[in-house]
Amino acid sequence: MQDYSKLPDAPRAFGFHLDGAWVPKGSRDWIERTSPAHGVRVTRVVHCTLADLESGVRAARRAFRSGVWSEVAGAARAGVLLKAASGIRARLDEIAYWETLETGKPISQSRSEIGGAADHYEYAAGVARTLKGDAFNNLGPDMMGFVTRQPIGVIGLITPWNFPFIILAERIPYMLAAGCVIVAKPSEFTSASTLIMAEILTEAGLPKGVFNVVTGYGADIGQAMTEHEDIDVLSFTGSIGVGRKVLLASASNLKKLSLELGGKNPQIVFADADLEDAADGIVFGLLFNAGQCCVSGSRLIVERSVAGRLEELLRDKFDRVRLGDPLDPKTQVGAMVTPEHMKKVLGYVQKGIEEGATLAHGGQSYGAPCVQFVQPTLLTGVRNDMTVARDEIFGPILTMIEFDTLDEAVEIANDNILGLAASIWTKDLDKAMKTMRRVEAGRTWVNTTIAGGPELPIGGFKQSGSGRETGVYGVEEYTELKSIHIALGKREHWVG
Ligand code: NAD
């Protein structure tokens, strides 16, 4: 039995999960994961072959056509989803531990994400029972109309490394509630919790073939999934660059896409905001997952008259936030995912300085044992045309831009190809609502940031993606609408 406060003595090895059962590695290669915070090998997953992917898609199609899931009552689907939620809660310590070792995120955060994940399964159970269509009784005496929803079919689910378990939970239960079947490919860095989820779903009574996991790299398994002609929908969450490849490859069979891509999210702070609250929210929004978060509020846009005071408050919080070993329950900020990514993040700091920004705080890597950490960093005097204000950096780097009027704040916020999320800080309700309406972002927060849950949909405007996941909207996304006209009485003949 693993002691969850200590590093494992040897990497945990996983098979992959097809047609309701574990498949052992056999002659395939391993993909090994080194803990980004500790520099030791923690897990091994199978580098699946393209033949394994074919087996997964075939198992899923078989399950879909059999009706074993796609045709059962919503109540039966709800029963499995509720059992899956209990299974997640029962294995919370285990899932959180491997999640932290593979991602480098603090254990307290992993635990809260796994609890939140169970909540999604419970909520989706309710939606499975309430999904319905529409009836048209206004088509005249000889016609009635119905609109029904039915499951689309086989979904390919490709997920990123940064929130492996909660991202699954924002998608799988809603896809299952709709009656669909799934072939999932988690990130090669963080496959453990997706494989554990497959076991939990099987134990919860999900029929075989309905949820399958094929582990491997994006360039082979991921690319083959997006090109696959027997996958009806692809749900992709990841970077914008790969999102473009997915879009092109999906032309093979014109599959439906749900794309959840990157963000460069503004935090707009007006002078009348509660600055203490705003500073705390901004620091949380920036340092959550060490800034490796799609909705990270990394682009601070602050009213000029309070910029100095806000900077003081931010620096104070940056000094006091607890950075360090993610297995320590007190740690608030963990590691960068890979050495290459850390180098890229630090490169952006240099680029910002070269383009004329001032390094007001941080800007260095830090710490033992493997030095894969970046200090909370503040760049001031930033203009919106600088690289650091335009690109998704995906690290704990905050850029500060000043404004004088609401129009100017909105213009700066919207002057980016991305539109995932935005936060607005003000005590003036009119100002908050007017700004909220004009900001081009799929998720908008007023006097808070990164709030979420099963009820509200997630997704982006502009190049941050298309489609919506989660909640009722997330279930509808994975259904086809069917229109049915029913003629009543004797037909008036066309050919007399
Ligand atoms: P990534 O794009 O490198 O990888 C994401 C997934 O795509 C992985 O499973 C990877 O193996 C796979 N992949 C890679 N190449 C592929 C290809 N050619 N075809 C198909 N699949 C391929 O992203 P990442 O580094 O894992 O995650 C970080 C990115 O994800 C950031 O840009 C972040 O903003 C974004 N993200 C978005 C959301 C959202 O909800 N909008 C949530 C989390 C992360």
Beta-carbon contacts of 114 under 8 Å, excluding residues fewer than 6 positions away, are: 88, 92, 95, 96, 99, 165, 166
187 and 121 belong to one structural domain:
yes
148 domain-assigned = yes
Average pLDDT of span 38-61:
97
CA–CA–CA angle 388, 393, 398 (5° rounding)? 65
Number of domains into which the chain is organized:
2
**In this structure, is residue 66 part of a structural domain?**
yes
Q: Whose CA is nearest to atom 31 of ligand 1?
A: 239
- pLDDT for 161-177, tens place per residue? 999 999 999 999 999 99
- In this structure, the strands spanning 365-366 and 233-237 are unpaired
Same domain, 117 and 174: yes
Residues 116-120 have a mean pLDDT of: 98
Q: Are 123 and 472 in contact (CB under 8 A)?
A: no
Answer yes or no: do 338 and 376 share one domain.
yes
Inside any domain, residue 496: no
Q: Among the atoms of ligand 1, which is closest to the Cα of residue 186?
A: 9
Q: Which pLDDT belongs to residue 369? A: 57
Residue 370: is its pLDDT beyond 90?
no
pLDDT at 495: 97
Please state the rounded mean pLDDT for residues 233-257: 97
- pLDDT score, position 366: 84
* % of the chain residues with pLDDT over 70: 99
Q: Is 370 a catalytic residue?
A: no
Task: List the structure tokens of 306.
Answer: 């309070």
260 in active site: yes
Q: Please report the atom of ligand 1 found closest to the CA of residue 260.
A: 41
Task: Give the CA distances from residue 280 to residues 142, 217, 265, 475, in Å, rounded to whole numbers and listed in that order.
Answer: 63, 38, 17, 34
What would the two tokens of residue 27 be? 């002659």
| pLDDT of 368 | 62
* pLDDT digits 0-9 by tens, 262-291: 999 999 999 999 999 999 999 999 999 999
Exactly one of 99, 188, 260, 303 is catalytic; which is it?
260
Q: Is the dihedral of CA 312, 317, 318, 319 positive or negative?
A: positive
Task: Report the residue among 250, 261, 391, 416 best suited for mutation to probe ligand 1: largest number of ligand atoms under 8 A from its CB.
Answer: 261
Ligand 1, atom nearest to 464 Cα: 41
Q: Which atom of ligand 1 is closest in space to residue 460's alpha carbon?
A: 41
> Are 245 and 138 contained in the same domain?
yes
Distance 159 CA to ligand 1 centre (A): 6
**CA 260 to ligand 1 centroid distance, Å:** 9
pLDDT digits (tens, 9 = 90+) for 293-345: 999 999 999 999 999 999 999 999 999 999 999 999 999 999 999 999 999 99
In a shared domain, residues 240 and 271: no
Q: Range of 344's domain?
A: 266-446
pLDDT score at 34: 96
**In this model, does residue 448 exceed pLDDT 80?**
yes
Q: Does the residue 319 lie in any domain?
A: yes
- Extract the tokens encoding 26: 């056999």
Rounded (to 5) percent helix, strand, coil in the chain: 40, 25, 40
Co-location of 282 and 431 in the same domain? yes
Residues 401 and 416 in one domain: yes
Q: Cα(249)–Cα(84) distance, rounded to whole angstroms?
A: 33
Residue 433: CATH number of its domain: 3.40.309.10
Q: How confident is the model at residue 230 (pLDDT cuts 50, 70, 90)?
A: very high
Confidence (pLDDT) at 286:
98
Residues 315 and 197 in one domain: no
User: Where are the strands (E) in 27-133, listed by range?
Assistant: 29-34, 41-47
Report if residue 205 sits inside a domain. yes
Same domain, 328 and 214: no
Residues 293, 214, single domain; the answer is: no
Q: What number is the average pLDDT over the span 363-369?
A: 79
Mutate which of 185, 187, 221 for ligand 1? The one with the most ligand atoms within 8 Å of its CB, which is 187
State how far the Cα of 376 lies from the Cα of 323, in Å rounded to an integer: 9
Q: Tell me, what CATH number does 47's domain have?
A: 3.40.605.10
The band of 76, judged by pLDDT with boundaries at 50, 70 and 90, is very high
Average pLDDT in the 183-195 region? 98
pLDDT tens digits along 299-310: 999 999 999 999
Task: Say if residue 327 is in the same domain as residue 254.
Answer: no
Mean local confidence (pLDDT), 339-368: 94
Q: Is residue 95 part of a domain?
A: yes
Band (pLDDT 50/70/90 cuts) for residue 372 is: confident
pLDDT at residue 155, as a whole number: 98
Domain assignment of residue 67, yes or no: yes
Digit-coded pLDDT (tens) for 203-215 = 999 999 999 999 9
Q: Are 425 and 279 in contact (CB under 8 A)?
A: no
Q: Do residues 300 and 438 both lie within one domain?
A: yes
Mean pLDDT of 437-465: 97
Q: What's the mean pLDDT when you consider all of the chain?
A: 97
Q: Which residues line ligand 1 (CB under 6 A)?
A: 158-163, 167, 185, 187-188, 217-219, 222-223, 226, 237-239, 242, 245-246, 260-263, 294, 392, 394, 420, 458, 460, 465
Nearest residue (by CA) to ligand 1, atom 21, is 222
The reply to whether 457 falls in a domain is no
Nearest to 338 by CA among 106, 97, 37, 11: 37
pLDDT at site 357: 98
